[in-house]
């Protein structure tokens, strides 16, 4: 269904040319990129006792090692193990009622759980995950956030781009190799559906830049709404909340919390043993809210930014944008007792009824008590919504060519507009490069590629990157005069991108960018009324979505897609009959479905 939109007002524009930026070609070596690896920064890591080499194996004192010649010094963008091991999971999305903080509501749970089961494999394993849609009135899809999906774009789970949604009653199997290691999450990409429950965490075991004894696993943190997202989103879109989306009703920590008024629910509890070092995998699985997190009396030694291992640094408080992950080491070196873990929504980038969500970390033997106020710190209620980019130094050093001036055609403006449809209904829109993305669920981008059809519709917001192994540079610019001054967590599928710069103001090529081993990750904060400059190499044939990870914003259009090397998609991905079958089933279901796509579809 197409809406004919009349622009009531639109944005300031940059002068835009028509051509794609010229990019540098790099050499190809056995089909893999030869990156600009300088040296690995082993000297700054002092907590391990052994240097990684082919002899050393992973253990509490040798976390840098892995085995078979792979270690924390391996550049996983170009080399990875292939163990031949296939790790299988079955995920069933069902329609149920849960009371996660004591307040019952409808939840689209996975295998009856919220969050869904943690998927776990090792570096180089193949994951084979069968997803069954047991909902009756929604499609679904499953996206494996941050997984590079190297030469497996059709396993990315982005409905309307890399597949049709999975129709009610149907199943599909996603198969892909784990070329990276670390912590992430998976979620539905079917409009706002993950906000209603279709979300879980994923661990790929591998080496680490700092030692620890015990892996506590994943610790997802998210805002929580008592009204379903499928009810809120249409109201947000049609101006039902003129001051912006409604505040979250609570914050869930590892899937639980007490209600804000303290009457029901229970705190998340984690038990520690004095003297041990723990790895905790923090993940922000929010819909809208950004938080700072901290554990009273303890510091975090941060060892990853998203999947990318970093030179460890220590901090008291850590900011997490939606979709971002930080793995941290906590040393249980304090007096035996119980301590509060704080999650503090930041004023500039959150709106939640809970001003300071709490969880409890207790040393064993003290694990039934509530922390005393003596150790309780004052949490920072500030408005800091930026990434700690200067601290995020990748362990494997990779540089970006600095001899390139980013042309105006590579500026993508983040805009906001209020438009009216034919029925004179007011609609809110977010757009990227002047277009609010809307993907056709029944005819995803990969179908265009299979058909050799390059007549993409304008609302697919597709950017062609036909040259293989070229550096691609982009300036994401928030236009301050029109768009509400909000920071946006920008996520790119299919790549760890390089963050060359991020700051307030308008980028004009005079600001200093960091080309020497800049942060690499898959979600970075675009500062409010500011810019984010990123780069990546077109080494992964596919249609890759780039979008704001605030579910309300991408729902209203804040996204674009890069189409890399369509010829190789046709010839090398091996898109099979089952993929086409999923589309046939979807198109047959949607012909008579009671609900139609009512937002971007993402």
Find which of ligand NAG, Cu ion, none residue 18 binds, CB within 5 to 8 Å per kind: ligand NAG
Q: Does 320 bind ligand NAG (CB under 6 A)?
A: yes
Nearer to ligand NAG, 67 or 228 (CB): 228
With beta carbons less than 8 A apart as the criterion, state whether 554 and 431 touch: no
Is residue 572 a contact residue for ligand NAG (CB under 6 A)? no
DSSP E strands in 112-268: the ranges are 116-122, 126-133, 143-144, 171-177, 182-187, 199-205, 214-224, 250-253
For the CA atoms of 196, 198, 204, 208, the dihedral, rounded to the nearest 10 degrees, stands at: 0
Task: Choose which of 156, 163, 289, 564 interacts with ligand NAG (CB under 6 A).
Answer: 289
Tell me if 602 contacts ligand NAG by CB under 6 A: no
Binds ligand NAG by CB under 6 A, chosen from 38, 227, 263, 595: 595
Residue with the two structure tokens 């996983």 = 76
Nearest to 457 by CA among 601, 330, 361, 585: 601
**Cβ closer to Cu ion: 143 or 154?**
143
**According to the binding rule CB under 6 A, does residue 306 interact with ligand NAG?**
no
Residues 6 or more apart from 551 whose CB is under 8 A from it?
Answer: 192, 194, 195, 229, 233, 287, 288
CA-closest candidate to residue 135, choices 157, 166, 164, 163: 166
Distance CA 15, CA 33 (A): 34
Judged by CB, which is closer to Cu ion: 93, or 385?
385
Residue from 217, 240, 247, 388 that binds ligand NAG (CB under 6 A)?
217
Cis previous bond, 115, omega within 30: yes
CA distances from 533 to 387, 466, 470, 599 (A): 13, 21, 17, 28
Contacts (CB under 5 A) with Cu ion, residues 108-147: none
**Nearer to Cu ion among residue 248 and residue 566 (C-beta):** 248
> Nearest approach, Cβ of 187 to Cu ion (angstroms)?
16
Stretch (H or E) spanning 282:
strand 277-284
Local structure of residue 470 (DSSP, 8 states): B
Stretch that binds Cu ion, among 135-143, 281-289, 336-344, 487-495 (CB under 5 A): 487-495
Residue closer to ligand NAG by CB (options 60, 169) is: 169
> How is residue 588 written in tokens?
């047959």
Name which of Cu ion, ligand NAG, none residue 217 binds, using a CB cut-off of 5 to 8 Å depending on partner kind: ligand NAG
Site string for Cu ion, 539-558 (x = CB under 5 A): ---------x-x--x-----
Asked if 396 is part of the footprint of Cu ion (rule: CB under 5 A), the reply reads no
Stretch that binds ligand NAG, among 49-57, 120-128, 316-324, 331-339 (CB under 6 A): 316-324
Pick 2 or 55: Cβ nearer ligand NAG: 2
Residue 345 found at the interface with ligand NAG (CB under 6 A): yes
Taking the CA atoms of 196, 202, 208 and 210 in sequence, report the sign of the dihedral they define. Answer: positive
Residue 553 touches which of Cu ion, ligand NAG, none (Cβ within 5-8 Å per kind): Cu ion
Handedness of CA 248, 251, 252, 256 (dihedral sign): negative
User: Minimal distance in Å, beta carbon 536 to ligand NAG?
Assistant: 14
Which helix H or strand E contains 420, and what residues bound it? strand 411-420
Shortest distance, position 599 Cβ to Cu ion, whole Å: 14
291 binds, among Cu ion, ligand NAG, none (CB under 5 to 8 A by kind): ligand NAG
Q: Is 523 in the site for Cu ion (CB under 5 A)?
A: no
Quick check: helix, strand or coil at residue 462?
A: strand
HSE toward the beta carbon, residue 464, CA cutoff 13 A: 13
Q: In which region does residue 197 sit, left (phi positive, over 0), alpha (psi from -120 to 50) or beta (all else)? A: left
Q: Which residue in 260, 322, 575, 602 binds ligand NAG (CB under 6 A)?
A: 322
Three-state DSSP state, 365: coil
Verify binding: residue 133, ligand NAG, rule CB under 6 A.
Answer: no
Q: Does 488 bind Cu ion (CB under 5 A)?
A: yes
Binding pattern to ligand NAG, positions 238-257, x when CB under 6 A? ----------------x---
Burial 39-67 (b: 16+ CB within 10 A, else e): ebbbeebebbeeebeeebebeeebbbbbb
Asked whether position 452 contacts ligand NAG by CB under 6 A, the answer is: yes
Question: Which DSSP category does 38 fall into?
Answer: E
401 lies in the site for ligand NAG, by CB under 6 A? yes
Binding range to ligand NAG, per CB under 6 A, among 264-272, 309-317, 490-498, 572-580: 264-272
Query: Can residue 355 be called a binding residue for ligand NAG (CB under 6 A)?
Result: no
Please count the other Cβ atoms lying within 10 Å of the Cβ belonging to residue 8: 11
Query: Does residue 346 touch ligand NAG according to CB under 6 A?
Result: yes
Q: Would you say 28 or 86 has its CB closer to ligand NAG?
A: 28
Tally of residues, the chain: 602
Q: Name the β-bridge partners of 226.
A: none
Question: From the list 12, 364, 381, 584, which residue makes contact with ligand NAG (rule: CB under 6 A)?
Answer: 364
Q: What span, in angstroms and rounded, lies between the C-alpha atoms of 166 and 333?
A: 49
What are the residues binding ligand NAG (CB under 6 A)?
16, 18, 24, 95, 135-138, 191, 216-217, 219, 221, 230, 254, 269-271, 284, 286, 289-291, 293, 319-322, 343, 345-346, 349-350, 364-365, 367, 373, 376, 401, 403, 409, 433-434, 443, 451-453, 455, 457, 463, 489, 505, 508, 510, 595, 597-598
What are the residues binding Cu ion (CB under 5 A)?
488, 548, 550, 553
């Amino acid at each position: 269904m197409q809406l004919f939109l009349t622009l009531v007002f639109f944005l300031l524009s940059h002068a835009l040319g028509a051509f794609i930026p010229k990019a540098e070609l790099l050499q190809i070596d056995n089909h893999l990129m030869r990156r600009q690896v300088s040296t690995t920064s082993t000297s700054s890591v002092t907590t391990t006792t052994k240097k990684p080499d082919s002899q050393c194996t992973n253990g509490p004192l040798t976390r840098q090692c892995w085995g078979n010649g792979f270690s924390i010094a391996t550049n996983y963008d170009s080399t990875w193990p292939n163990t031949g091991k296939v790790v299988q999971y079955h995920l069933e999305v069902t329609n149920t009622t849960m009371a996660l903080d004591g307040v019952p509501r409808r939840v689209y749970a996975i295998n009856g759980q919220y969050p869904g089961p943690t998927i776990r494999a090792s570096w180089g394993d193949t994951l084979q995950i069968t997803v069954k849609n047991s909902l009756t009135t929604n499609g679904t899809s499953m996206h494996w956030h941050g997984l590079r999906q190297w030469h497996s774009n059709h396993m990315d789970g982005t409905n309307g781009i890399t597949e049709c949604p999975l129709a009610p009653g149907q199943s599909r199997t996603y198969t892909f190799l784990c070329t990276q290691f670390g912590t992430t999450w998976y979620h539905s990409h079917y409009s706002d559906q993950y906000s209603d429950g279709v979300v879980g965490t994923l661990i790929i075991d591998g080496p680490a830049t700092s030692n620890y004894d015990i892996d506590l696993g994943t610790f997802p943190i998210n805002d929580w709404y008592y009204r379903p997202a499928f009810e809120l989103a249409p109201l947000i879109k049609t101006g039902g909340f003129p001051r912006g989306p409604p505040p979250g009703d609570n914050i869930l920590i590892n899937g639980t919390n007490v209600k804000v008024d303290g009457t029901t629910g229970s705190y998340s509890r984690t038990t520690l043993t004095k003297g041990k070092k723990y790895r905790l995998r923090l993940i922000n699985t929010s819909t809208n809210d950004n938080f700072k997190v901290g554990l009273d009396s303890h510091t975090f030694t941060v060892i990853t930014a998203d999947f990318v291992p970093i030179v460890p640094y220590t901090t008291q408080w850590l900011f997490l944008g939606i979709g971002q992950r930080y793995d941290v080491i906590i040393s249980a070196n304090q007096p035996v007792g119980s301590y509060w873990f704080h999650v503090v929504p930041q004023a500039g980038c959150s709106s939640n009824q809970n001003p300071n969500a709490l969880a409890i970390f207790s040393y064993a033997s003290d694990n039934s008590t509530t922390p005393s106020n003596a150790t309780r710190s004052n949490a920072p209620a500030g408005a800091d919504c930026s990434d700690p980019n200067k601290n995020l130094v990748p362990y494997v050093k990779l540089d970006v060519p600095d001899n390139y001036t980013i042309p105006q055609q590579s500026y993508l403006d983040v805009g906001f507009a209020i438009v009216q449809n034919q029925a004179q209904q007011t609609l809110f829109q977010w757009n990227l490069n002047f277009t609010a993305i809307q993907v056709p669920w029944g005819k995803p981008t990969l179908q265009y590629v299979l058909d050799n059809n390059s007549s993409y519709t304008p609302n697919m917001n597709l950017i062609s990157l036909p040259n293989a192994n070229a550096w691609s540079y982009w300036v994401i610019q928030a236009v301050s005069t029109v768009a509400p001054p909000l920071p946006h967590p920008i996520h790119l599928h299919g790549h760890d991108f390089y963050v060359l710069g991020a700051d307030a103001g308008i980028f004009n090529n005079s600001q200093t960018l960091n080309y020497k081993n800049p942060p690499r990750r898959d979600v970075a904060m675009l500062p409010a009324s500011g810019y984010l400059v990123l780069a990546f190499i077109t080494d992964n044939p596919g249609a890759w979505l780039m979008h704001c990870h605030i579910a309300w914003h991408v729902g209203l259009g804040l996204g674009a897609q890069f189409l890399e090397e369509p010829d190789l998609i046709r010839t090398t991905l091996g898109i099979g009959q089952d993929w086409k079958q999923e589309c046939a089933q979807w198109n047959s279901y949607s012909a008579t479905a009671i609900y139609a796509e009512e937002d971007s579809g993402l």
